Amino acid sequence: MPSLKGKRVLVVAGSRGLGAEIVKQAAERGATVAINYAASKERAEELCKSLPGSGHVLVQGDAFTREGCESIVSAATNGLGGLDAVVSNQGYTKFASWTDLKSVSDEEWLKILNANIMSHLWVIQAAEEQLRANKGSFLISASVAGLYTNGSSMAYSVSKAGLIHLSKGLAKSLAPDIRVNAIAPGLMLTEWAAGFSEAQVKLSTDAALLKKVSDVPDVAAAYMMLMENGSITGEVLEISAGLGH
């Protein structure tokens, strides 16, 4: 079984929320981490300073453009001296009514599809050479919204469903050199969840078998397991406190 000790890990959108917890747990396991951030420089710097070990780097860049993804991967590769794993954690949504088909404009639909599908494709296209050479791991942040018809908006749910299918396609296309897996968390109480009302949070909690939201450290731990397990690819791991059952 692979170990993260001494491995070089890029976490796209890694300065806050789930991304920051993934960064912390990877560093605690002995990995050297490249932390990508878009605008939160101070937060990224504070996170980097708090990490155990040395050699961690910050990588500023916009993961929602092809050029940005290429720049992020290039800077991380140069900063770490190579890549053994990439966590593609970026995403975007608009909170909107499911019952109003015009609640999300065409422009917003395309923005969501670009952020939640195309950006992940651009990241792996940029990182493919490094990950193939190092028999590495590519992890995608999906969502239970891609498995069931729920979430912040129909556009978001559809985009995450497409992302899940992309992850399965990539696993097939990149085998046997690169392991590709997706993680589908339920509702997590990060800054992202600020768009949900208290009633919506309660509805999600009540619907889960464990009667709770998905704890961020628990979700991040799944990324560690998938990076360290050399026998899993093409899977979608739901971590939702039983929300989908």
Q: What's residue 44's pLDDT?
A: 97
Question: What is the C-alpha separation between 64 and 71, in angstroms, rounded?
Answer: 12
Q: Judge whether 111 lies within some domain.
A: yes
Question: What is the C-alpha separation between 200 and 157, in angstroms, rounded?
Answer: 16
What mean pLDDT, rounded, does the chain reach? 94
Q: Which residue has the higher pLDDT, 210 or 243?
A: 210
Q: Judge whether 1 lies within some domain.
A: no
Q: Judge whether 145 lies within some domain.
A: yes
Chain segment 34-48, per-residue pLDDT in tens: 999 999 899 999 999
Q: What's 158's domain CATH number?
A: 3.40.50.720
Q: Is the pLDDT at 199 greater than 70, yes or no? A: yes
Chain segment 93-116, per-residue pLDDT in tens: 988 888 999 999 999 999 999 999
Q: Judge whether 225 lies within some domain.
A: yes
Q: What's residue 95's pLDDT?
A: 86
Q: Which domain holds residue 37?
A: 8-189+215-238
Place of tokens 């909107």: 96
Q: Judge whether 160 lies within some domain.
A: yes
pTM for this prediction: 0.95
Q: Is the pLDDT at 80 greater than 70, yes or no? A: yes
Q: Is the pLDDT at 78 greater than 60, yes or no? A: yes
Q: What's residue 157's pLDDT?
A: 96
Question: Amino acid letter at 61?
Answer: G
- Provide the domain count of the chain: 1
